[in-house]
Amino acid sequence: MLAETLDKRIAVDRQAVQAAVSGVEVVYHTAAVPGVWGAWELFHSVNVRGTENVIAACRACGVRKLVFTSSPSVTFDGTDQCGVDESAPYPQRWLCHYPHTKALAEQAVLAANDGRDLLTCALRPHLIWGPRDPHLVPRLIDRARRGRLRQVGDGNNLQGYLMVWLRDPPGPQPAGRPHENHQQVSVQGLPGLWNVWTGFVHGIPIINWVRAEGQDIYELEFDVMDLIRDAQNRGLEVPGTHINAVAVGFEIWEGPITNLESVDFYVDVN
């Protein structure tokens, strides 16, 4: 069996792709632009048009088998997906450009399977690693050598996410779903009204406090423990016993967006 791995630098160049697959029997298509940030055109050009180029090249060169590396995120809708299989439907809205474009590419690959001249399949691994892996294993080894690998707890830790949204986004939504019993509620220590969303991110529970529509704010100082106590008072599960990390940022769903800035972010640990 012969195979050719296509680099994302040539996935948008149809002639280069055709030259790469000429004379092989099987193509493993792993090229992609991953990540949660970036412009739609970048993701679409490589992940969708690049995949269309691969399909066209396989047909032009008589390649009979195409294996496409997809992603579990193509069906992720913000809710727990433990135990799901390939029958899980695509969501109505994707959380960022990467899973959206990978879903479009996956559908194109599966539709190209004619059962005779071109056989295709799509795999959805969480990670790819092995010989010549430039990403996961080298980074783990590097950090281990520099003494920067850390294990928190005994390896059986419970994890959870708490997220505060200072505005209710008009289109894209937080992970999970609005909790029907906790909408337009007051939270001790936080101003105004909030909508509580609950769900899972890759199997890890998340609780979102989303500023009520029309009450956007641009700065907020609060005690994280107020959120934890609020969740507990509402009967919502907050796994674990320690806060391991705090971060601030922007969820960029559509762009380009300019002139964004986080000012005076601080954490006071008592």
Indicate if 98 belongs to the active site. yes
CA 105 to CA 195: how far, in whole Å?
A: 35
Question: d(Cα 103, Cα 110) in Å, to the nearest integer?
Answer: 11
Which residues are within 8 A (CB) of 41 and not within 5 positions of it... i.e. 6 or more apart? none
Burial of 194 (0-12, 13-18, 19+ CB in 10 A): buried
Of residues 98, 161, 218, 266, which has the active-site annotation?
98
Helix (H, G, I), strand (E, B) or coil at 23: coil
Q: Cα–Cα distances in Å, from 226 out to 79, 93, 147, 167, 182? A: 25, 32, 35, 19, 16
DSSP string, 89-157: PPPSS-SSHHHHHHHHHHHHHHHT--SSS-EEEEE--S---STT--SHHHHHHHHHHTT-----TTS--
SS3 230: helix
Active site residues: 98
